[in-house]
Amino acid sequence: MCRLFAVTSNDPLSPMMAINALNVMKEGHDGSGVGLFLTDLGGEFEKFKNEPILSGIFSNEGIKALDRFMIDLDFMVKYKLSFRPTKPTPAGTPKRDNYVIRVYEYPADWEGLSQEEIQFRLMMVQLQLQERGEKDKSMLIFSFWPDVIMIKEVGDPLAVAQYLGFDRKELSARTILSQGRQNTNYSIDIYACHPFFIQGISTMTNGENTAFVPIREFLMSRNFPGYVGYKSDSEVFTHILHYMQNKLGMGMEMYKHIITPLKDEELVCHPDGKLLRNLKQSCRPLIIDGPNCVIGCLPDKSMFMVQDSKKLRPGVVGGRPGIFAFSSEMCGLDAAIPERDINLDDQPMRYETVIVRRERQEIEKWNQWDSLPPLH
């Protein structure tokens, strides 16, 4: 089962901190992939809070095609960070030409567009590039979004991190999601590495999602171009969250109610039972069938963790004001923040959602039994 580690801190951290925590949990991942999601960036990228950042892997031809494509759209490169590794590749990692992180300036004619329209266009640019790269494998695109960097590669997390030099000073972030993948039942595909990303929302999951097919079918029938991909059965967790927030306009408190609704007999005594029952029926294809632990980051940089009732070894959250870490295993948390008060660690149970806001002061908890805030 994949290993997950996420950290949110007031001071920018090197992604190596997360990679080291993954390395402690090495027993549980098999080198079939590592993924990083960095947001609330520090270092060089702090200056470009509002400009979209493109993250991906390009062949030499791919880079040229990218330049042509972006110039046609009138995107100008403002800052870039490229890795062109010269060292021998670690075991299992393919040789690639360019790992690219580029900050772009918006096209002039995007001026005055609504926030929603800009976000939609950014997603469409990412999808178009992804599609172009799909044909000749010249481009792999992970994200195109302001204040977000994503890196994914096949191989052992620590070996890949050393190979690509994740310890470079330009790379630091206050909010980091990372995954060491254990490949269980699908062929190794770099797009199957977590975390997944769509329009500012990113999640990663461990465990199998046995209800994958109906969820995928439901999402793909929503007529939203972003609901594609699904190289991994865990990508749907990100898209369910996106659908819930952006399409249904519901807050994070409803996520558990959609993926793991209360039982019918429980709904009878819930203060909002009537609405929740209707929601359960309407969103029935989105119910997951675990065991899954989902760790994610919302556009407002708050970090959350939920899991379903089948999860026997729940993830854990701990830390102190200023820094909190979310880990699929206790040992990862111990390695990352050893000096915390372990009595304040929290393992969310079947009804709970835990969330750490951007202020990083406390672990907030919601229970599915709580009454809902009024619908807005």
Partner 1 sequence: MESMGLVTPSTLSVKDLPWQIHWSKEKCTLCGSCTAVCPVRAIDLGVHRKRSLQVPVGLETKPGNLFSIYHGIDQRTDPAHACVGCGMCTMVCPNGAIAPLHSGEIDKLRFHINQGGEPRRRGGRRNSPDSVLDKIKFVRISMLTDPALDAGRHEFELRTLLGRILPPEEMLRVSRESGWMPPVREIYPLVIGSMSFGALSPNMWEGLQMGVAYLNEELGMPVRICTGEGGCPPRLLKSRFLKYVILQIASGYFGWDEIIHNLPQMKEDPCAIEIKYGQGAKPGDGGLLMWYKVNKLIAAIRGVPQGISLPSPPTHQTKYSIEEAVAKMIQSMSMAWGFRVPVYPKISATSTAMARASAGGIPLRLRLMTALRFSPRTNSRTR
Stretch that binds partner 1, among 3-11, 37-45, 163-171, 305-313 (CB under 8 A): 305-313
- Name which of 25 and 250 has its Cβ closer to partner 1: 250
By CB under 8 A, residue 373 contacts partner 1: no
For the chain, where are the alpha helices, taking DSSP H only? Answer: 15-24, 60-72, 115-136, 157-164, 212-220, 235-242, 255-259, 264-268, 273-282, 330-336
- Name which of 34 and 254 has its Cβ closer to partner 1: 254
Q: How far is the CB of 278 from partner 1 (least distance, A)?
A: 5
Q: Pick from 204, 224, 221: which is nearest to 213 by CA?
A: 221
180, 291, 296, 314: which one contacts partner 1 (CB under 8 A)?
291
Q: How far is the CB of 266 from partner 1 (least distance, A)?
A: 11
By CB under 8 A, residue 184 contacts partner 1: yes
By CB under 8 A, residue 68 contacts partner 1: no
Q: Within 10 Å of residue 272's Cβ, how many Cβ atoms?
A: 16
Q: Within 10 Å of residue 67's Cβ, how many Cβ atoms?
A: 14
- Name which of 11 and 186 has its Cβ closer to partner 1: 186
- Name which of 313 and 358 has its Cβ closer to partner 1: 313
By CB under 8 A, residue 282 contacts partner 1: yes
| Angular region, 325: left φ>0, alpha ψ -120 to 50, beta rest | beta
Stretch that binds partner 1, among 29-37, 45-53, 106-114, 274-282 (CB under 8 A): 274-282
56, 146, 290, 332: which one contacts partner 1 (CB under 8 A)?
290
For 197, the enclosing helix (H) or strand (E) is: strand 196-198
Q: Pick from 257, 253, 258, 328: which is nearest to 293 by CA?
A: 328
Region 332-361 residues binding partner 1, contact defined as CB under 8 A:
350
By CB under 8 A, residue 312 contacts partner 1: yes
Size of the site for partner 1 (CB under 8 A): 31
Tokens of 51: 């400009």
By CB under 8 A, residue 279 contacts partner 1: yes
By CB under 8 A, residue 278 contacts partner 1: yes
Q: Within 10 Å of residue 97's Cβ, how many Cβ atoms?
A: 16
Distance CA 162, CA 15 (A): 11
By CB under 8 A, residue 204 contacts partner 1: no
For 152, the enclosing helix (H) or strand (E) is: strand 148-153
Given the structure tokens 């969250």, which residue do they identify? 241
Binding residues vs partner 1 (CB under 8 A): 1, 182, 184-185, 207-208, 210, 247-250, 263-264, 275, 278-279, 281-284, 287, 289-291, 309-313, 350, 375
